[in-house]
Chain A
């Protein structure tokens, strides 16, 4: 078995030499993070899974062009962001249907059955749903920067590296994006307070 603690760089070198296990290990290490990024960008589980797969396939095919100027993770995130952007361009409008497949599993997970307060969970879920809806209203540029900074927790420098932008631009865009998000949030909460019911994301999967 391969050493779990090998650095990404090491694994990348091995993978470049054609070591399939090394690349598999890289996939294993990063796919959850990439999936969550894709989910945040695309807003639904199905596209997120497709984008994740596409990201790794692209990474695999482009691996020889990776020179190690940035970290592997940064490079991978850059690919993921671009893949998501491509996908959004391809299938607009973005569907923000939420959590259905996971819900199914959750329903049958004894651990979740033990959860005490369904109301609380519901409220939390509503709030989470609101986040996706609000994100869905933002332009791509704003969404991607919010996802990277506020959801993925990257530093300005890292985001700058991923998006290939100067740090100053990242900052100013982020501030604008946060304000835009607040506005989207505001309009959504108003809608929710208003009597007419928000249409549910009725997508079956």
Chain B
């Protein structure tokens, strides 16, 4: 037997599958051949390592994720694989269907007006009066399902391209309407006369589109009833929603510091350059503005603002929100994709905290553990935090359409105090590279922070996380072309805070009111 043959047969020798004669021959060869001995030793080590290699445990949320996805498929059954060849045919079919069911729509609409819940009605009404007709493209697109129905004839490509621009336009408006009715009216009025100025970034007002607005009034109104009116129940199977996939991750850390032992003395500030003894932040962040926005997220707490000194027995809270955002590849069949959000709470002491996530429109929260169900606000977790440890709450989200989307994350401590943040992010297909220096024309002066961020998130393909306290503040933006970078700087200046950047996510850092930590027995 030559060395080559021996080496070839070593695996069999190792697994003991050779017949007696060959085995003896090999043993004999090995005892006399140093090179083969080395190979043999190597094989043994390698195979042992291979067999002992440990694979990690699956991520904790995987099971939930799989079951949610299967459930989603089950509900969507029969699975309809959309192919562009079919698009035209289906478009025609939908059109015919629509014609046939138009009377039903009308009836449904009547029904809606009578039977909707206050929330739905509140949303529907602003769209009802005649102004909706004169509204530039901003309102009509806000109900893409329906405007699509009206315009069944465009080619699939057109359909694909449209909602992406529209969603943005739709976002701020619909949100305003649902959240703060009075504010929304105020916001709409000034923008109406200058139709081209309204939300200039997004809308491409064209005659064609305005025409459609008119056509679509009736179905548009009935949209909120999509779920309640059985006649429209066929709509969801209409697979013209823009398919995209994105994976999003949120890491949020809430660090709770124990109260300083000595009263009347500020705790050592975590940031060397921060002015001690000046808990108010107003001027401080400006000096380091550029650093904050450009640098990668540094060690936690580096940019955090010195905590406010609170009365005895209470702790200060430092909020720093590292938050990362990653987009996954494109998958044509699924509309949206399950996403994972992780929420980490860092605490020096055990606490009971409730985390609630309230999705905005077109974002569903899927989570098998929730007692409240999809799309509602849900209590995700309520447990004692182990001391000094981190706890991750996995959330499964599904954005049903691309666009600037938002979520509200609320943390409720045991004593009933709540802290909320808005997360505004761009749900896009494929890679969303951050385009923070891309020029954006601003043609409206007054913005609420959240609306501005929605637009910036979309334009720059990034995400923002802001405390609720500033989300509805109105800021003034000069009407000219500037980059998201500049706009964010303006926000910093006008609101006295600071953006921290991690990847494509910006988080707002200001002192927040202190957490009242429930008395802890040490």
Binding site for B on A (CB under 8 A): 20, 23-24, 27-28, 31-32, 35-36, 39-40, 45, 48-49, 52-53, 56-57, 60-61, 99, 101-102, 105, 108, 110, 127-128, 130-132, 134-135, 146, 150-151, 171, 174-176, 178-179, 181-182, 185-186, 205
B42 within 8 A of partner (CB): yes
* Contact present for B53 and A132 (CB under 8 Å): yes
B12 within 8 A of partner (CB): yes
* Contact present for A146 and B73 (CB under 8 Å): no
For B43, what are the chain A residues with a Cβ–Cβ distance below 8 Å?
178-179, 182
Distance in angstroms from A27 CB to nearest chain B CB is 5
* Contact present for B67 and A32 (CB under 8 Å): no
Bound-state CA distance A127–B73 (Å) is: 41
For A127, what are the chain B residues with a Cβ–Cβ distance below 8 Å?
49
Bound-state CA distance A90–B42 (Å) is: 33
Bound-state CA distance A20–B73 (Å) is: 11
* Contact present for B57 and A102 (CB under 8 Å): yes
Q: Chain A CB within 10 Å — which of B7, B39, B56 has the most? A: B56
For B35, what are the chain A residues with a Cβ–Cβ distance below 8 Å?
none
Q: Of A49, A99, A185, which contacts B58 at CB under 8 A? A: A49
* Contact present for B63 and A182 (CB under 8 Å): no
* Contact present for B62 and A61 (CB under 8 Å): no
* Leading 7 A-B pairs by shortest Cβ distance: A185-B46, A178-B11, A35-B58, A36-B55, A102-B56, A175-B11, A131-B53
For A36, what are the chain B residues with a Cβ–Cβ distance below 8 Å?
55, 58
* Contact present for B70 and A134 (CB under 8 Å): no
For A131, what are the chain B residues with a Cβ–Cβ distance below 8 Å?
49-50, 53
Which residue on chain A has the smallest CB distance to residue B62?
A49
For B234, what are the chain A residues with a Cβ–Cβ distance below 8 Å?
none
Q: Of A27, A105, A181, which contacts B66 at CB under 8 A? A: A27
20 contacting pairs across A/B (C-beta < 8 A): A23-B70, A27-B63, A31-B58, A32-B58, A49-B59, A49-B62, A53-B69, A56-B69, A57-B66, A105-B392, A130-B49, A132-B53, A134-B46, A175-B8, A178-B11, A181-B46, A182-B47, A185-B46, A186-B42, A205-B326
Which residue on chain B has the smallest CB distance to residue A175?
B11
Distance in angstroms from A128 CB to nearest chain B CB is 5
* Contact present for A185 and B42 (CB under 8 Å): yes
* Contact present for A56 and B66 (CB under 8 Å): yes
With A108-B389, A181-B46 known to touch, is A45 a contact of B70 (CB < 8 Å)? no
* Contact present for A108 and B47 (CB under 8 Å): no
For B54, what are the chain A residues with a Cβ–Cβ distance below 8 Å?
128
Give per-residue flags for B15-54: 1 if the beta carbon is below 8 A from chain A beta carbons, else 0.
Answer: 0010000000000000000000001001101110111011
